[in-house]
Structure 1
Amino acid sequence: MARNAERRAALVDAAVEVLAAEGARGLTFRAVDAAAGVPTGTSSNYFSSRDDLIHQIDGWLHQRLAPDPKAVERLLERPRDRALVVAFMHDLMGRAQRDRTGFLAMMELRLEAGRRPELRASLMTSLRADLDEGIAFNAQAGLPGGAEEITLLYLGMLGLILEHLTMPGMLDDAIPGVSVPDGVVERLVERIVPDGGA
């Protein structure tokens, strides 16, 4: 049973690789089998359909892309001010840079959701839950800014991550004297989040 769980997890990881590299149209059981280095037909034994596989990818990416609890704990030792919000956004950008494949796969899921209403409903539920969790975390941690600021920051960071991962260098020198992505992260927080505690 443990081996089956490990094989399923390896197949989902391989599917993330395929999704990031080939897009949703390239996400086939055959492509996943090839990426995982397993015999043809293996994925179809683990997932009832392509939709089932996509659902598994969505669930796994939300875990894979989540912040490290130990990193969060270390950050929360700092004063609860705008500088701490900057640190959290740097952590998010760092995770996007370290797991480019995972973030690109999530972007591909978003694109596919735009074409498939049933996926849109499921993905919208999980993404909205992530945003609501971020808003609640911000309030519980006593960080500056409320729901509006966190939503605007979410949108700004999403755009920055998309640009930086898909068009690296395109934003260089767009804002004179501001580095990409670090300086842009700092400017976003500075412009959106009020200084001081919540």
Structure 2
Amino acid sequence: MATKREQVLDAAIEVLGTGGSRALTHRAVDQAADLPAGSTSNYFRTREALLCGVAERLEQRDHADWTAMHRRLGPLTLDHLVDALARFITHASTTDPTRTQARLALFGESQAMPAVAESLQRGHGRLREQAIELAAQVGIGHTDAAILVDYMDGAVIHRLTGADHGKDPREALERLARALPGNRS
């Protein structure tokens, strides 16, 4: 069960992801969370604090999804890695696009708010390191794994904007992963 703070942040993600950054106000979050007026302000006094909280909550939810989607037994293979990355792309762009849209709105906000940029970078860095650790298990080095993660970021954005809507990301991921040094088979 979510805490009230998490309830506020989840509502903020919903507001930000469906209405964009201009729609995100303390009052709008209170309404979306079905909480009394002023509740959001009790947890996050400023807009910047709310946006930092959203960035951190997005990371928590992404980490939970990543863990749930990729729990499995046995050694990791390149095919398993590609499947896992493709599932994550599909999830981020179709199962929970509101959350991904909220993250994109945060990137815009981060241009004027260094604390938001730091929160986003910290969260992205942690998720990136998880992907790099998985890639290392199949012989993909740090630099090459970062290329896979960058591709994933771009694929999610393209799918959200309709450029690759409905296209299975697995084929391109597999071609890219197999083209990386040490993975030609």
Structure 1 length as normaliser, TM-score? Answer: 0.79
1:104 pairs with 2:101: yes
Are the counterparts in 1 of residues 83 and 170 from structure 2 also a CA contact under 8 Å?
A: no
Letter in 1 for 2:21: A
Task: Map 1:72-91 to 2 at 5 A.
Answer: 72-74=70-72, 76-77=73-74, 79-91=75-87
Q: Does 1:138 align with 2:131?
A: no
Instruction: Quote the sequence identity (%).
Output: 29
Q: Is the 8 A contact 2:90 2:169 kept in 1?
A: no
Question: Aligned partners of 2:181, 2:88: CA distance in 1, in Å?
Answer: 16
Name the CA distance, whole Å, in 2 between partners of 1:70 and 1:119.
Answer: 27
Q: Mind listing any 5+ residue stretches in structure 2 that lack a counterpart?
A: none
Q: Tell me if the contact between 1:164 and 1:181 (Cα under 8 Å) persists in the aligned partners.
A: no
* 2:34 pairs with 1:34: no
Query: CA 1:22 to 1:164, structure 2 compared with 1: closer, same or farther past 3 Å?
Result: same
- Aligned-pair CA distance for 1:113: 1.2
Gaps spanning 5+ residues in structure 1: where?
Answer: 173-178
Contact 1:81 1:195 in 2 (8 A): no
CA contact (8 A) 1:81 1:144 kept: no
Residue in structure 2 matching 1:190, options 157, 178, 181: 178
Name the SS of the counterpart of 1:144 in structure 2: coil
Kept in 1: contact 2:111–2:117 (CA 8 A): yes
Q: Counterpart amino acid of 1:26?
A: A
2:66 touches 2:88 (CA, 8 Å); kept in 1? Answer: no
Among candidates 40, 49, 52, match of residue 46 of structure 2: 49
TM-score, normalised with respect to structure 2: 0.83
Q: CA RMSD in A?
A: 2.7
Q: Between Structure 1 and Structure 2, how many residues are aligned?
A: 183
Shift of 1:95: 2.4
Question: How big is the shift at 1:98?
Answer: 1.4
Structure 1, 109-118 or 98-107: larger mean CA deviation:
109-118
Residue 149 of structure 1 aligns with which residue? 144
Cα pair 1:58 1:106 within 8 Å, conserved:
yes
Deviation at 1:194, TM superposition (A): 4.0
> CA separation in 1, counterparts of 2:68 and 2:115?
35
CA contact (8 A) 2:82 2:174 kept: yes
